[in-house]
């Protein structure tokens, strides 16, 4: 049913992603799908690397660790952006098509008051992507 699953990750907040990473791995195993980890970084130096290529290497290492840990095929899909905070929703919405994914699995949070005013990343992706989106709390 699924062959390519996109999983957005924030390499600065991996400790908060354990549940979504496990769900994605379980679904990938069930369908024999490949997991594509996407992460967005700035084009300027950050704590994750001086250059986008440094960031890409960290994401590749993360994807390889997940492959070893869960026994699934993985790929890294790093994206460098001029302004990741402003571009994140659009980048995630279009990345699924660029990857050729048929499912997006991403972390969510318990909605609060502010979510009635501003749309969450998961809500935006679910609304603007033509792909199935599975939000994990």
Question: What CATH number is attached to the domain comprising 30?
Answer: 3.40.50.620
* pLDDT score of 123: 61
Maximum mean pLDDT: which of 12-26, 79-93, 110-124? 12-26
More confident residue, 123 or 115: 123
pLDDT, tens digit, for every residue of 69-85?
A: 999 999 999 998 888 77
Burial class (CB in 10 A: 0-12, 13-18, 19+), 118: exposed
Mean pLDDT across 100-109: 87
Domain membership of residue 50 as a residue range: 4-136
Regarding beta strands 73-81 and 34-42, do their DSSP bridges make them parallel or antiparallel, or are they unpaired? parallel
**Report field, pTM of the whole predicted structure over 0.95:** no
Is residue 31 within 8 A of residue 132, CB to CB? The reply is no
Domain count for the chain, please give it.
1
What residues are paired with 49 via a beta bridge?
46
What residues are paired with 81 via a beta bridge?
42
Instruction: Indicate if the alpha-carbon torsion angle 87, 13, 95, 104 is positive or negative.
Output: negative
Q: How far apart are CA 109 and CA 23, in angstroms?
A: 15
- Percentage of residues in the chain having pLDDT higher than 70: 85
């Amino acid at each position: 049913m699924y062959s390519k699953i996109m999983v957005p990750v924030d390499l600065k907040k991996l400790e908060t992603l354990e549940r979504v990473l496990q769900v994605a791995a379980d679904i990938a195993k069930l369908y024999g799908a490949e997991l594509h980890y996407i992460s967005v970084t700035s084009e300027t130096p950050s704590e994750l690397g001086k250059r986008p290529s440094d960031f890409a290497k960290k994401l590749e290492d993360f994807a390889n660790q997940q492959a070893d840990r869960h026994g699934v095929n993985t790929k890294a899909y790093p994206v460098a952006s001029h302004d990741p905070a402003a571009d994140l929703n659009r980048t995630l919405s279009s990345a699924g098509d660029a990857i050729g994914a048929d499912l997006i699995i991403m972390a969510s949070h318990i909605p609060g008051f502010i979510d009635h005013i501003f749309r969450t990343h998961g809500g935006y992706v679910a609304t603007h992507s033509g792909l199935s989106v599975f939000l994990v709390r």
